[in-house]
Structure 1
């Protein structure tokens, strides 16, 4: 249940208990439901990144052929779901090239060398186009949808470049920039408030994502403003039903 914040959330108006507490975070009801298709999209993206990492990390991981085959299996089973999610992207140019990347990746093992290189470069251009938008567009819903798109096609573009014998560090840098933009721009400290939970014993940060989801992180009140760690926990809870956690995962996998 959503508890009212008190004291107009003004720093310094909080009492100080003697004991310390551990911070925790949760999505506070009521929250927007997590649609099944979004759950599926997230699961597929995370699986693809896991396969991608096993190949690119080396050290006895997957071979290029094995990684490509496993990624094909992952996207073919949910191809239409991935495309339906990409269709939510407002930017028509990115929407089109992202859908093409997902569809055409199915034939990567049958492409001629020239066709393969063209596909890899086109997929790379699609990622860079999405990245350029993520750095500029103000609409958080649009950032969310681009986050799904860039993390669907990003690892496919990386695999395509490797398959075609092209370099990958440049594209990796673009993906890192795109995912950092999703993480840092979809929700910020400005979308949060802080204060007492009503009992004055607990300090809490409450963040609201663009889709209406509310995330709360709290700890025992020390009479000091909350640290960034409490903001981060509340923002993570508020954006659990968005592409932001996918981007956070991607930053550790790329």
Structure 2
């Protein structure tokens, strides 16, 4: 009877942890050194704050000063995510998409300082750029390429929606376009999951469940039951599935699909 040594099991669990978390980027890292595979919590916050702006602007009862405060929350969240976003944008091969998305990220920081006429023009421009970005979702198929374009899309659309809300322009059609784009991202970056047995001759048997989006976005969980007692696990398949795409643009797209009014 072969029972896997504890050290081997610990090493397997450690490997799973490394796959899930990825290498940490130094706090002082330059944009080109940012970890594009790291957490995108700030982008999810940006989405929440953008929805607040849209809701308040739609009600029409919020003062311009309060709207500027709400907008600043969106800006601050994007600033926290900017290095990782730019790292994804830098990887995009299409020059106009890369340039337009980067320009939107950089210019958004000054939206509270734009005059009414300039804001109107910029809101229309960034809306058009966001719509054009979605066209590239139809021509990319490799996981990383889809994710890079996905980051451009999920970053540009909230910027465009906030800009339009601040300029007094309609947002309904653009929201619907964002929903369609988010669905494409969710579909194209859907994880592939499988059961497998890393040590098929071991007793008790170790079962592994792995979900992969692409490359580093792979998560594995192990389970092992011996005489009715869990030595590892049990596996939470839904958690493994969600963790595999947690640090991709799919996470933001799925959240948008969930929250979009």
Moved more, 202-211 or 165-174: 202-211
In the alignment, which of 33, 51, 54 is matched to residue 53 of structure 1?
51
- The residue aligned with 1:194 is 195
1:91 is displaced (CA, Å) by: 2.2
- The residue aligned with 1:184 is 187
Per-residue deviation, residues 33-91 of structure 1 (Å, max 9, x unmatched): 15434477713312211211223334798943221122233334665554344222222
Cα distance in 2, alignment partners of residues 41 and 127 from structure 1: 23
- Tell me: higher relative CO, structure 1 or 2? Use CA pairs within 8 A at least 6 residues apart: 1
Alignment of 1:35-46 (within 5 A): 35-36=24-25, 37=34, 38=36, 42-46=40-44
- The residue aligned with 2:76 is 73
1:202 is displaced (CA, Å) by: 8.2
Unaligned runs of 5+ in 2: 1-7, 10-14, 26-33, 225-235
Cα distance in 1, alignment partners of residues 144 and 180 from structure 2: 18
TM-score by length of 1: 0.70
Moved more, 232-241 or 155-164: 232-241
Per-residue deviation, residues 17-48 of structure 1 (Å, max 9, x unmatched): xxxxxxxxxx9355271543447771331221
Structure 1 residues 110 and 208: alpha-carbon distance in aligned structure 2, compared to 1, 3 A threshold = closer
- The residue aligned with 2:162 is 159
- The residue aligned with 1:169 is 172
Instruction: Let me know the Cα RMSD of the aligned residues.
Output: 3.6
Moved more, 30-39 or 128-137: 30-39
In the alignment, which of 214, 234, 241 is matched to residue 210 of structure 1?
214
- The residue aligned with 2:16 is 28
Alignment of 1:233-244 (within 5 A): 233-244=239-250
TM-score by length of 2: 0.68
Do structure 1's residue 114 and structure 2's residue 112 form an aligned pair?
A: no
Structure 1 residues 239 and 168: alpha-carbon distance in aligned structure 2, compared to 1, 3 A threshold = same
Q: How many correspondences in the alignment?
A: 222
Per-residue deviation, residues 221-242 of structure 1 (Å, max 9, x unmatched): xxxxxxxx95x65443322332
Normalized per residue, the structure richer in helix is: 2
Conservation of the 8 A alpha-carbon contact between 2:38 and 2:247: no
Do structure 1's residue 132 and structure 2's residue 120 form an aligned pair?
A: no
